[in-house]
């Protein structure tokens, strides 16, 4: 009995000593643990402790406890009091990991990665698995937030075998999300390990076209990789793809205006949509039936949905009218999945609503992307006065500055008579002329001086009509700024074939739909032969109609596979988290009165 009591006392003492620490090895040092004590009690013990090492561990425990309780500010204050460099490697790893977690609460991934570069992290593999998981998780989060997607995936793959239960499932899905977001050119597996398997799966899925082809690609990959974690537990988005493939689309409602101001727009969209439908039929596919509805005669969206449901419609394409799209976006849910052909003002709508349109904002962001890819950093901006110009300006500015670009000057174009003055102001030419006059006054004689422009503008972002662009480019030449590159949205291109107009815009680079840049596309040639206006600026609407048809059965794919794309006639199409279809576009340049396609740049 006495022996038992002695054993019990010894166990209690051991437990008490371990309350604040566990010792993996003497060289690594003790790892703090969260004990049954409050932050105040731990700090009081630390203040009373005669051992600097014990005091540091107690404060480290207090800082960790504050972080776990959601008080990042208090945790950071306590951590600052810990002499990390005086600790052994184990506690140093613990402190560095906590510092990284605190940096992530402030949305500072680079600071988190700096904290995780401490030399003690080289011995992370000697520490208990729970510490390895904790450190690996915050490193993965920081790498992802810093844009290092592949490195983040590697980190999560490394910690995966140490996880179980819900944590393992979450990590599994996170790996797929990261790998699936990589562009195709980065999905080139060179190894046969887990990472190579993940990349091969993503490449197989992205390379397939239809849902049926994707399902076949997944099944084939699983047969070749039966022991891979993703084969054992298929990621949820791929499970959803399987469900989509088992529910083929058999009937679509096309909801467009047939009367009123938007009738011509509706007709172009409808003709493009049906051209793609007939092309699918000619290719031997089994396309869904199309039911037409006139949105210009609608009295109630509820009534329309009731009729569509009674008609057996599974997907609605439309409406086009912005007020109707706005109305749908404010609803908690829709009776039928709907691909609206315009955008609402708000970001997120009901789960059943997808939005697609020819947004000028997409093109503004495309200009930002292309200029960055071309190595430019400092932009001047010229947009029309008014609400449209403000939207384009905002979209470009946000994307450009978010990616490290600088905006040097901005001008809002309105009256042609003011254009020369605005460009002179933008390039500070009047100041140059003033300096020349001042010098002439000082020396008392004529001074031969050509006005010089400011040199910090690397390019101009231009959003303007062809008529405005015809005035702007020659004025730039006249104002000693003809050598400054001009990057424009598609709005400068009339697609009229007018060589004189194009000559006035020589050197302007612009993004444009594949439809208008590729006159040899078989579908475009077929459509333009029937409707010649499809080869002009209205062609963008025909292209959008074609893409609306091709998007219809693949909305679930784009939603399930982050960053996957459909190469369409109105651009390369992807989807945001808020279920908005966004476009990336190819580029061309006016050269000697002709439109010349430019090589694509990495995206």
Residue 60 has pLDDT above 90, yes or no: yes
Identical fold at 17-147 and 249-355+519-571? Answer: no
The string over 244-259, giving b where at least 16 C-beta atoms fall within 10 Å of a residue's C-beta and e elsewhere, is: bbeeebeebbbbbbee
Domain segments of the chain as ranges? 17-147, 249-355+519-571, 360-437+450-512+585-597
Question: Which value, to the nearest 10 degrees, does the dihedral of the CA atoms of residues 484, 489, 491, 495 take?
Answer: 90
* 419-449 residue pLDDT tens: 667 777 777 655 444 443 443 444 444 434 4
Question: What's residue 599's pLDDT?
Answer: 87
* 255-288 residue pLDDT tens: 999 999 999 999 999 999 999 999 989 988 888 9
Question: What's residue 34's pLDDT?
Answer: 64
Q: Which CATH superfamily is domain 360-437+450-512+585-597 in?
A: Response regulator (3.40.50.2300)
- Copy the structure tokens of residue 581: 């279809």
Residue 196 has pLDDT above 90, yes or no: yes
pTM metric for this prediction: 0.69
Q: How confident is the model at residue 558 (pLDDT cuts 50, 70, 90)?
A: confident
* C-alpha angle 431-433-434 in degrees, rounded to nearest 5: 60
Length reported for the chain: 603
Task: Name which CATH class applies to 249-355+519-571.
Answer: alpha beta
Going across the sheet that includes 566-567, the strands are: 566-567, 572-575, 581-584
The string over 307-331, giving b where at least 16 C-beta atoms fall within 10 Å of a residue's C-beta and e elsewhere, is: ebeeeebbbbbbbbbeebbbebbee
Over the chain, what is the mean pLDDT?
87
Task: Name which CATH class applies to 17-147.
Answer: mainly alpha
Question: What's residue 561's pLDDT?
Answer: 74
| Residue predicted with more confidence, 554 or 99 | 99
Nearest to 34 by CA among 22, 26, 47: 22
């Amino acid at each position: 009995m006495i022996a038992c009591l002695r054993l019990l006392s010894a166990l209690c003492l051991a437990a008490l000593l371990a309350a604040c620490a566990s010792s993996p090895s003497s060289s690594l040092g003790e790892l703090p643990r969260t004990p049954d004590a409050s932050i105040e009690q731990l700090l009081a013990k630390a203040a009373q402790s005669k051992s600097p090492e014990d005091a540091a561990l107690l404060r480290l425990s207090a800082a960790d406890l504050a972080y776990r309780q959601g008080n990042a500010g208090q945790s950071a204050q306590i951590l600052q009091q810990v002499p990390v460099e005086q600790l052994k490697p184990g506690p140093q790893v613990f402190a560095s990991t906590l510092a990284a977690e605190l940096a992530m609460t402030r949305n500072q991934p680079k600071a988190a990665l700096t904290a995780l570069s401490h030399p003690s992290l080289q011995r992370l593999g000697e520490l208990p698995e729970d510490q390895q998981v904790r450190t690996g998780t915050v490193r993965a989060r920081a790498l992802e937030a810093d844009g290092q997607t592949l490195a983040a995936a590697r980190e999560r793959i490394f910690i995966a075998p140490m996880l179980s239960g819900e944590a393992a499932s979450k990590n599994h899905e996170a790996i797929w999300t990261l790998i699936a977001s990589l562009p195709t050119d980065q999905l080139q597996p060179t190894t046969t390990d887990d990472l190579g398997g993940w990349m091969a799966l993503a490449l197989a899925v992205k390379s397939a076209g239809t849902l049926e082809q994707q399902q076949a690609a997944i099944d084939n990959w699983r047969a070749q990789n039966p022991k891979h974690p993703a084969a054992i537990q298929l990621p949820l988005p791929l499970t959803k793809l399987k469900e989509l493939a088992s529910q083929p689309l058999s009937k679509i409602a096309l909801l467009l205006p047939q009367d009123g101001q938007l009738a011509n727009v509706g007709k172009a969209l409808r003709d493009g949509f049906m051209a793609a439908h007939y092309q699918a039929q000619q290719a031997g596919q089994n396309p869904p039936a199309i039911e037409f509805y006139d949105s210009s005669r609608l009295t109630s969206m509820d009534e329309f949905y009731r009729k569509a449901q009674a008609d057996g419609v599974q997907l609605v394409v439309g409406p086009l009218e912005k007020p109707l799209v706005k109305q749908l976006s404010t609803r908690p849910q829709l009776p039928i999945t709907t691909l609206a052909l315009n955008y609402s003002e708000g970001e997120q709508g009901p789960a059943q609503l997808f939005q697609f349109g020819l947004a000028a904002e997409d093109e503004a962001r495309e200009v930002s992307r292309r200029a960055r890819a071309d190595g430019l950093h400092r932009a001047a901006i010229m947009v029309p006065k008014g609400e449209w110009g403000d939207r384009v300006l905002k979209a470009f500015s946000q994307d450009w500055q978010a990616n490290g670009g600088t905006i040097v000057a901005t001008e809002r174009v309105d009256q042609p008579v003011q254009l020369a003055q605005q460009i002179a102001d933008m390039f500070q030419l009047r100041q140059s002329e003033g300096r020349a006059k001042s010098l002439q006054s000082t020396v008392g004689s004529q001074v031969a001086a050509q006005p010089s422009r400011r040199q910090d503008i690397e390019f101009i972002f231009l959003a303007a009509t062809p008529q405005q662009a015809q005035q702007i480019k020659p004025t730039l030449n006249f104002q000693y700024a003809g050598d400054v590159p001009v990057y424009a949205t598609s709005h400068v291109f009339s697609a009229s074939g007018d060589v004189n107009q194009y000559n006035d815009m020589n050197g302007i680079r612009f993004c444009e739909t594949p439809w208008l840049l590729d006159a040899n596309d078989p579908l475009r040639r077929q459509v333009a032969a029937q409707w010649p206006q499809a080869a002009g600026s209205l062609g963008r609407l025909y292209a959008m109609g074609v893409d609306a048809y091709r998007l219809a059965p693949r909305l679930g794919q784009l939603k399930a596979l982050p960053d996957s794309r459909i190469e369409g006639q109105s651009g390369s199409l992807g989807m945001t988290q808020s279920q908005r279809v966004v476009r990336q576009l190819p580029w061309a340049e006016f050269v000697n009165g002709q439109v010349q396609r430019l090589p694509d740049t990495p995206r």
